[in-house]
Structure 1
Amino acid sequence: MKNAFRLLPLFMLLLGCENGDKLTFEPIHISNKDCEDCPKIDIAIPKALDEVIISNRINTALEEEIISLLSFDEGQEINTIEDAIESFTKSYKELKSKFPDETIGWEASVESDVSYEDDNMLTLEFNAYSFTGGAHGYGSSSFLNFDKVKGSELENWELFDDLEGFLRYAETKFRIQEDIPQDDNINATGFMFERDAFHLPENVGYTKKGIQLVYNQYEIASYADGPIALTIPYAEANKYLKRKVKL
């Protein structure tokens, strides 16, 4: 019996999310507002607290996204958010020391929260903005999708049982939303899809209202057009999804 009880914590770690309970999150806020001669950095993300594998996957994925946003020194090994903040700050100060009259204050902000959760799936929406000089900054929205039972982060194609079918249906919905005639070229009204062919965006995620497709600035249109989002209700999307949502 002792051996059986020793295995229990590992069993709970591997399968803890199969009980359908929602994960527990703690809000984390990181900023450097006390540094006068530093770029403005503001990070607000959830931290998964449950002792299950998926919690580690979520926290690691969020950390990697922030590191990617803030890392500027390719020669520096960056493994933590603190390292990334240091890299971002160092790069700003080096530029300002070289061009004190031309360097405008840099800034970076991150905000993330749960956009959907059920027994099997969890999706985080990740909104980021950075300005490092130039005419304007750049903002983006992305989704991080997770299989709670397997404890893994999912690629977009892993969300679907019928990816080709969903692609065709999404194009029909996109044309309706954007007033593009169904028999015209997808770029007939000014979009910039490569090779004149509709494609899914880099960011697809579960939300409370349905599967959402988010085309960030420059992905299929100009910066001035802003991000373009399309939400397909689960009543329509479920037939294509690998992990269907109860209606």
Structure 2
Amino acid sequence: MPKLLVLVSFLLLSACQLLPLGGQARYERQAWEERPAGCRGEACPLVNIDTLHFPDEPALDRLIEQRLLEMTRLHANDPLPASLREYQRSYLSGAEPEQTSYLQAQVREQHDGLIVIELSSYQYTGGAHGLPGRGFINYERRGDRELQLADLLLPGQEAAFWSLAAEAHQRWLVEKGHATDKEFVAFWQFQPTRNIALLSDRVLLKYDVYSIAPYASGHPELSIPKEQLRGILKPQYL
């Protein structure tokens, strides 16, 4: 075989290996709600679980369950149950009236060989309101792995990324009418977040309650358009 033909064949094979997996990943919703056996009425404690099953992505299945279980922790050192079903049984066996636990996983987007999962939780143990939680999984199908921020950024670009996030925070303050409120700006200052989603057109940052705004503000979202991230994100993620 001529050398040029060998080289072209090698380049075509390499390109195919680098292309994202074709099509959308198959998944199904798995949802259920349970109360203690024999309990009736609105005061009954309950567990509501709304999760996902990816038949062709077993590593992602395990990761989703692990992350949802981590969101059940009320204290950092609380042991993790072995499974969502085990969590349900354990919770209901010791829950007080009106206590509730909601856990949810949803597909936020699929694009370019990535699956972006949004995780939500709500734990009510009493008082005026419960504690909601949020999180993301950016799952790269080609490598069967979760992408962390360090995987997305070019070397040495973390400070530049958070500088753009701070600018997005300023836009959020203006949009929500807080920019001229000196007390709000002084108390609810910008900070990084671990909840980062790599969407098709932007990077989305979602904040926990009480992080950069009061509880009534819910989960603030900041967006950085991808065109602003050239030279900061690795080219394959643009």
TM interval, short-chain normalised = 0.7 to 0.9
Mapped partners of 1:72, 1:172: distance in 2: 33
Q: In 2 relative to 1, CA 125–165 (structure 1 residues): closer, same or farther, beyond 3 Å?
A: same
Q: In 2 relative to 1, CA 168–83 (structure 1 residues): closer, same or farther, beyond 3 Å?
A: same
Mapped partners of 1:75, 1:191: distance in 2: 31
CA shift digits 1:66-100 (9 cap, x unpaired): 222346798977211111111211221xxx4xxxx
For residue 87 of structure 2, the aligned residue among 74, 79, 84 is: 84
Give the corresponding residue for 2:21.
19
For residue 228 of structure 1, the aligned residue among 200, 211, 220 is: 220
CA contact (8 A) 1:110 1:128 kept: yes
* Residue 60 of structure 1: how far off its partner (Å): 1.0
Instruction: For structure 1, list consecutive stretches of 5 or more residues without a partner in the other structure.
Output: 1-14, 97-103, 181-185
130-139 vs 206-215, which moves further = 206-215
Structure 1 length-normalised TM: 0.72
Q: In 2 relative to 1, CA 141–120 (structure 1 residues): closer, same or farther, beyond 3 Å?
A: same
* Residue 63 of structure 1: how far off its partner (Å): 0.9
Give the corresponding residue for 1:49.
55
* Residue 148 of structure 1: how far off its partner (Å): 1.6
For residue 153 of structure 1, the aligned residue among 139, 146, 156 is: 146
Instruction: For structure 2, list consecutive stretches of 5 or more residues without a partner in the other structure.
Output: 1-16, 176-181
Mapped partners of 2:60, 2:183: distance in 1: 37
CA shift digits 1:146-178 (9 cap, x unpaired): 122111112233222222211111212211321
Mapped partners of 2:106, 2:147: distance in 1: 17
For residue 63 of structure 1, the aligned residue among 62, 65, 70 is: 65
CA contact (8 A) 1:20 1:118 kept: no
Q: In 2 relative to 1, CA 27–191 (structure 1 residues): closer, same or farther, beyond 3 Å?
A: same
CA contact (8 A) 2:36 2:93 kept: no
Mapped partners of 2:200, 2:45: distance in 1: 35
Give the corresponding residue for 1:165.
160
SS, match of residue 117 in structure 2: strand
Mapped partners of 2:114, 2:45: distance in 1: 36
For residue 188 of structure 2, the aligned residue among 189, 192, 213 is: 192
* Residue 234 of structure 1: how far off its partner (Å): 2.2
Structure 2 length-normalised TM: 0.74
Q: In 2 relative to 1, CA 78–157 (structure 1 residues): closer, same or farther, beyond 3 Å?
A: same
Q: In 2 relative to 1, CA 208–191 (structure 1 residues): closer, same or farther, beyond 3 Å?
A: farther
Mapped partners of 1:83, 1:22: distance in 2: 31
CA shift digits 1:159-201 (9 cap, x unpaired): 2222221111121221132139xxxxx98714434xxxx4321
For residue 234 of structure 2, the aligned residue among 228, 239, 242 is: 242
Give the corresponding residue for 1:11.
none
Mapped partners of 1:232, 1:217: distance in 2: 20
Aligned residues: 209
RMSD: 3.1
* 2:208 corresponds to 1:206: no
* Residue 107 of structure 1: how far off its partner (Å): 1.0
CA shift digits 1:216-242 (9 cap, x unpaired): 102223323322111222222354222
For residue 174 of structure 2, the aligned residue among 171, 176, 179 is: 179
SS, match of residue 93 in structure 2: helix
